[in-house]
Structure 1
Amino acid sequence: MSFSLNSIRMGGKEVLPLIEGGKGVAISTGASSGPWAAAGGIGTISAVIADAYDEHGNVIPHDYMGKSRRDRHNEMIDFSIRGTIDQVRKAWEISKGEGHININMLWELGGAQKILHGVLEKTKGMIHGVTCGAGMPFKLAELASKYGVHYYPIVSSGRAFNLLWRRAYKNAADLLGGVVYEDPWRAGGHNGLSNAEDPTKPGDPYPRVLELRKIMRKLGLDHVPIIMAGGVWNLKEWKDWIDNKELGPIVFQFGTRPLLTKESPISERWKKKLLELKSGDVLLQNFSPTGFFSSAIKNSFLGELVGRSDRQVDFRTEQDEEFNTEVMVARKKYIVRGEDAAKIENWVAAGYDQAMKTPDDTLLFVDADKATEIRKDQKDCVGCLSQCRFSSWADNEKNSTGRLADPRSFCIQKTLEDVAHDGNIEKNLLFAGHNAFRFGSDPFYSNGFVPSVKQLVDRIMTGD
């Protein structure tokens, strides 16, 4: 079967309609995005707590010295700015100044706008576009206009884009480089599932993307590419989308496949793990401190979070007809339903003898070591999110969400930093898309073959 793929004009430059998806905290680096851009596609660098280098080319550790969360939050912003600038320069050098380089920002990152300003001021002429998701980035167009770069909002519905356009983007139409439709069921990392959508019932992306295109047509944006992200493994499976007049110009984003390349900075253990995955080994869950659903590889880290959340009961401070049983846990009294008292007794007997309150008037049961770890992680918060359900940090005057810290979640900065720097792949969060199991069955990766970025792009260009 023959397969052809034409280039497309994006961000004022002719490129292959292939984008490397951004993966935060030192995963989407200049080392991988530079070769992707050099191969003719769009390389993407994550601006989320990126790694900077010393004069010898060694990664500078992110050691937080501030005594307050606000101090550490400001350090995190500085780390992100310095690191992203270094990564952009590296990608620029690898692509010899000819490649198309975008940066990706988690809009819910604490200080996201400060980081983008800091990076774009120092990288003029090297960055073509800014991609933003995980939130509603209303200020994105204004920021892009200031620095003369294109912008690429990430949405999971036409309705979301319509709101962004009418409230903010219509004033910077000429710099809209593309609209990323990120499938909320199949993409890796954080997902944009709405309250009206069932996480267990994936929707067909075609009608959702078509709805987005219809909205864009009404707004005079038929020429602006839609970038299909999430669930894209090879292009032969999407041939009906290519040169489809109903959908208009379509570009494809690959987030998971670039993890397994020679240039990818993830550990060899992580790469080996990808080759061993089976169908169903990626879990869509809502433990993230961002409040968003996210998709990650099943391992002991996720297993512990599932088990932790299962050891949970409602409680009250005063008795009523339903909550009529008093229990004693670690010398504290709680009032629970009668049927829950036996569960608590069994959990305590099994060593889960520490009761932690959640913001939803439930008690969570963990062992002493986990309780100590949770409290320490909450105390050591670096303010990496604009609002964090785990630590109750918020990037506001009070530095607080006003809600109780939630022990059902985790410190995302801690685990992503660790796994990005050769940490344990069983005891950390491993983001991945739901097609990651295909590494093990795709003949391209036979006998443990790990391609270079150029080899991967060439493979994708054949349709496989």
Structure 2
Amino acid sequence: MFKGLQPVLYGGREVYPLVEGGKGVSATNHASSGAWAAAGGIGTVSAVNADSYDPEGRIIPQVYSGMTRRQRHDELIHYGIEGAVAQVERAYELAGGKGAININVLWEMGGAQPILHGVLERTRGKVAGVTCGAGMPYKLSEIAAQYGVQYLPIVSSGRAFRALWKRAYSKVPELLGAVVYEDPWLAGGHNGLSNAEDPRKPQDPYPRVAELRVVMREGGVPDTVPIVMAGGVWRLDEWEDWIDNPELGSIMFQFGTRPLLTQESPIPPEWKARLMTLEEGDVLLHKFSPTGFYSSAVRNPFLRWLEARSERQIAFTKESIGDHAFELDVGIGTKKNYWVTKGDLQHAREWFAQGYINAMKTPDDTLVFVTPEDEKIIRKDQADCMGCLSQCAFSSWADNEKNSTGRLADPRSFCIQKALQNIAHGEPVDENLMFAGHAAFRFKQDPFYSNGFVPTVKQLVDRILTGA
């Protein structure tokens, strides 16, 4: 084992301080998390729209038949509970009594609380802890206490943890299993950048984690409660000064990207092959997600399509005001008046000539120019919404009495449920959202993966334990 690294007591047994990241929609399942636990670490089942199975073991397609979004939302919750329960049960069996099994949920996912209750009620004794981020999960400790499991909030700053601790977690301190620091510039998936932080200026994680430990100590949290470093973790020898460091206290490490490329990883072969080809800078920190959060994904043709769509965008006014003195004469197909600048009028005419003949309004009083085919896809995806998020910019769904954000649906975004389900179940990687951490380019550089070698989870964990 790498020098200084020590097992920690978690879930009633000693485990390696190595946590598998619980990656979104079906990118982490029972096979990978069960194997990670069997290797002595903490495996993490993704409880976000997880797959369930028929009696023959085939994945049950998540088909929605409800006529209304609310009806489809209820179906989503049902699928979410059944899928997560199936994944936990299989992972627990694969673990064979070794390591530990956590589940991961997004606080801002649709139906997060009923899904958590439904899963934890049916998996008593099999789930050691719940990791949860993507928002401020104030009720996480309260829910964990009802089922006697540990809770592991995901935060990106000491300030965020302080707010959670003061409002709720201080009431259930004994079940705080760890605090996950997810670096907002390095982690894959959704990132917790605040308005005060510049997405183009990454900060060193060490002082941010040291500050988090100070905040935890102020709240009376003992140093034996680990901080889990998540985002950008590849080799332990690069984090040597973090291990057995009195300033940081107990430290664990979360691996999100590396477990994607294992034999047990459920992602399709095309996705695994693409990971082997990535160069530094191929993962983009962007803000196209309908959650409103920044997120990190491979800059494939799908993301470039979203980038290009937003670039074909102009501001308008309903009256001739200032520079907006030129009436738009292309791209609308209605009798309404849209006033734009001279330069934007020229842009609109150029886009129209290129086939982007339909203009779609955004909530920000702009128009984006798209092809008729693209508008048809956007409209259909918006109409098919099943409320997979607590609120969605793309469809204007919100989990409230009116089931609406009260804002115009935003055509610059996309249906994240569709894109993630598609790529996880074998649809072309170039046409869907491909989450990855910013260290994914290292697959191509790391000699461990030379000649296309894909390790088992056990081989990967053994490799990590050497420091490499």
TM range (shorter): over 0.9
CA deviations 1:338-373 (Å, max 9, x no partner) are: 221101110111111110000011111111100110
Provide the residue aligned with 1:321 in structure 2.
Answer: 322
Q: Work out which of the residue numbers 330, 333, 338 in structure 2 matches 1:331.
A: 333
Q: Check if 1:40 corresponds to 2:40.
A: yes
Q: CA 1:390 to 1:2, structure 2 compared with 1: closer, same or farther past 3 Å? A: closer
After superposition, residues 7-46 of structure 1 pair within 5 angstroms as 7-46=7-46
The SS at the match of 1:89 is: helix
Q: CA 1:369 to 1:302, structure 2 compared with 1: closer, same or farther past 3 Å? A: same
After superposition, residues 391-430 of structure 1 pair within 5 angstroms as 391-430=395-434
CA distance in 1, matches of 2:371, 2:197: 35
Contact 1:300 1:427 in 2 (8 A): yes
Q: Check if 1:238 corresponds to 2:239.
A: yes
Q: CA 1:159 to 1:2, structure 2 compared with 1: closer, same or farther past 3 Å? A: closer
Q: Check if 1:225 corresponds to 2:226.
A: yes
CA distance in 1, matches of 2:379, 2:235: 44
CA distance in 2, matches of 1:307, 1:435: 25
Q: Work out which of the residue numbers 362, 381, 387 in structure 1 matches 2:385.
A: 381
Once the 2 structures are TM-superposed, how far is the Cα of residue 9 of structure 1 from its aligned partner? 1.7
Contact 1:107 1:136 in 2 (8 A): yes
CA distance in 2, matches of 1:268, 1:4: 36
The SS at the match of 1:277 is: coil
Contact 1:4 1:462 in 2 (8 A): no
Provide the residue aligned with 2:208 in structure 1.
Answer: 208
The list of structure 1 runs, each at least 4 consecutive aligned residues, that deviate by more than 3 angstroms after superposition, is 1-4
Contact 2:141 2:169 in 1 (8 A): yes
CA distance in 2, matches of 1:10, 1:93: 18
Once the 2 structures are TM-superposed, how far is the Cα of residue 74 of structure 1 from its aligned partner? 0.7
Structure 2 residue ranges without an equivalent (≥5):
none
Q: Work out which of the residue numbers 335, 351, 358 in structure 2 matches 1:354.
A: 358
Residue identity in the other structure for 1:223 = T
After superposition, residues 77-116 of structure 1 pair within 5 angstroms as 77-116=77-116
Provide the residue aligned with 2:370 in structure 1.
Answer: 366
Provide the residue aligned with 1:136 in structure 2.
Answer: 136
Once the 2 structures are TM-superposed, how far is the Cα of residue 14 of structure 1 from its aligned partner? 1.5
Identity of aligned residues (%): 64
Contact 2:13 2:99 in 1 (8 A): no
After superposition, residues 255-270 of structure 1 pair within 5 angstroms as 255-270=256-271
Residue identity in the other structure for 2:333 = R
Once the 2 structures are TM-superposed, how far is the Cα of residue 13 of structure 1 from its aligned partner? 2.9
Once the 2 structures are TM-superposed, how far is the Cα of residue 220 of structure 1 from its aligned partner? 1.3
CA distance in 2, matches of 1:170, 1:160: 14
CA distance in 1, matches of 2:354, 2:261: 40
Provide the residue aligned with 2:287 in structure 1.
Answer: 286
CA distance in 1, matches of 2:272, 2:429: 10
Provide the residue aligned with 1:126 in structure 2.
Answer: 126
Contact 2:2 2:465 in 1 (8 A): no
Provide the residue aligned with 1:345 in structure 2.
Answer: 349
Once the 2 structures are TM-superposed, how far is the Cα of residue 4 of structure 1 from its aligned partner? 4.8
Residue identity in the other structure for 1:316 = T
Residue identity in the other structure for 2:25 = V
CA deviations 1:384-423 (Å, max 9, x no partner) are: 0000000000001000000000001000000101111011
Contact 2:5 2:244 in 1 (8 A): no
The SS at the match of 2:431 is: coil
The SS at the match of 1:323 is: coil
TM value normalised by structure 1 = 0.99
Once the 2 structures are TM-superposed, how far is the Cα of residue 331 of structure 1 from its aligned partner? 2.6
Contact 2:232 2:439 in 1 (8 A): yes
Once the 2 structures are TM-superposed, how far is the Cα of residue 11 of structure 1 from its aligned partner? 3.6
Contact 1:92 1:99 in 2 (8 A): no
Once the 2 structures are TM-superposed, how far is the Cα of residue 97 of structure 1 from its aligned partner? 3.3
CA distance in 1, matches of 2:21, 2:282: 21
CA distance in 2, matches of 1:45, 1:209: 25
The SS at the match of 2:454 is: coil
Residue identity in the other structure for 1:178 = A
CA distance in 2, matches of 1:289, 1:390: 5
The SS at the match of 2:137 is: coil
Contact 2:40 2:98 in 1 (8 A): no
The SS at the match of 2:276 is: helix
Contact 1:11 1:175 in 2 (8 A): no
Structure 1 residue ranges without an equivalent (≥5):
none
Contact 2:10 2:100 in 1 (8 A): no
CA distance in 2, matches of 1:331, 1:438: 49
Once the 2 structures are TM-superposed, how far is the Cα of residue 3 of structure 1 from its aligned partner? 3.4
Provide the residue aligned with 1:173 in structure 2.
Answer: 173
Provide the residue aligned with 2:440 in structure 1.
Answer: 436
The SS at the match of 2:338 is: strand
Contact 1:73 1:384 in 2 (8 A): yes
Once the 2 structures are TM-superposed, how far is the Cα of residue 2 of structure 1 from its aligned partner? 6.5
CA RMSD in angstroms, aligned pairs only: 1.0
Count of aligned pairs:
464
The SS at the match of 1:132 is: strand
CA distance in 2, matches of 1:181, 1:208: 9
